[in-house]
Amino acid sequence: MKLLLWLYPGWWRRRYGAEALDILESRPVTPSVFWNVAIGAVDAWLNQGMPPSSAGGTNERESEGGYLVTGNRKRNKRVASVLARVGLMVLVGAVVFVEGYRTIQGHKDGAFGPINPLVVSPFVVIPIATAALGLWVLLTGRRLRDWPRWPFEGRAFRLAGAYCLVGSLLVVALAVTRNVGFAFLLYALLALALAATTQVVRIRRPGI
Amino acid sequence: MGKAQQPAEPDLGRFSDPALVVLTCLADGPKHGYAILQESESLGFPLSLGTLYGALNRLERLRLIEAEASVDRRRPYRLTDSGVGHLRSRLAALNRVVRYGSRKLEGAR
């Protein structure tokens, strides 16, 4: 039963885990319970968040450090987990697309079709996805529905979006010209620049 | 002259019904998750574990309920003032629907 609760985010387990385990252990476990707990975990990762502090809150600080986009490690973890999921989906999509393309074109021997060199490379696929995400963030300054808002988040996210957009387009250009090593280097530099800049934003705007 | 705007009701989306059940269970005093589950079953709207904690989390973030200090492994929740107001307005709206629907049904006979 305890293993089932590991599907949930850490803050959720600290907040509700003991009581939820108590309930799970006191009731018969059926497939529908498994299913409901699993769906609840997806909901917790995507839509829920640490409630405001009250008598029942954990002792953890709500806001700490400054890492990726703003100074809140928990929210940054969410951003990172969503980006990782998007990346994974794009990769799986690319593989499915390539296989579908090969089947349609009759390349059963594994030979590349005319657009495969572009599609098959994660160095192209991931940056294109990141660029699209960056463009969306840049234009809207928004994230997924129900995410909590905090001061200056629009500015921080637009900044991150600009980095993603410009950097990703550069990486695409490098990857198309087969400079994969440079693409890697640029990604690393981009990440460092993003982290450094958001630290500056955080220092200038305390409380972010 | 613009119309006076009414305060917006919190949007609980698809968790609206479970949230209403949770609020109703808490109407007579603080309860922990297990007690809410049991009461929801006796009420005829059984909540499952994932749904219960999803609703509790949303209600807490909307400050319609708040947690008290944990006792043993269980943490009681109580309605806040805005939670009481929200429950009242939801129940009044439901009452209007019930009365209206009942009148229409009787008129159709």
Within chain A, where are the H helices?
A: 2-5, 10-12, 18-25, 31-46, 73-105, 116-119, 122-140, 153-176, 180-204
pLDDT digits (tens, 9 = 90+) for B63-76: 999 998 887 778 99
The pLDDT tens digits for B7-51 are 566 665 555 788 999 999 999 999 999 999 999 999 998 898 989
A28 touches chain B (CB under 8 A): no
- Residue boundaries of the structural domains of chain A: 2-46, 73-204
**DSSP letter for each residue of A23-60:** HHHTS---HHHHHHHHHHHHHHHHT--PPPP-TT--SS
Sorted by where each begins, the domain ranges of chain B are 14-108
Using a CB-CB cut-off of 8 Å, the residues of chain A touching B49 are 20, 23-24, 33, 36-37, 40
- Say if the ipTM goes beyond 0.90: no
Give B-chain residues touching A16 at CB under 8 angstroms. 33, 53, 56-57, 75
- Domain at B14-108, CATH from 3.30.230.30, 1.10.10.10, 1.10.3720.10, 1.10.357.10: 1.10.10.10
> With an 8 Å Cβ cutoff, are B61 and A21 in contact?
no
A34-51 residue pLDDT tens = 888 888 887 887 777 888
CA closest to A149 among chain B residues:
B61
pLDDT of residue B16: 72
Scanning A72-111 for CB atoms below 8 A from B yields none
Strand positions, DSSP E, chain B? 65-67, 77-79
State both tokens at A117: 């060199």
B34 to chain A: which residues are within 8 Å by CB?
A: 19, 22-23, 26
State how far residue A72 is from chain B, nearest Cα, in angstroms: 17
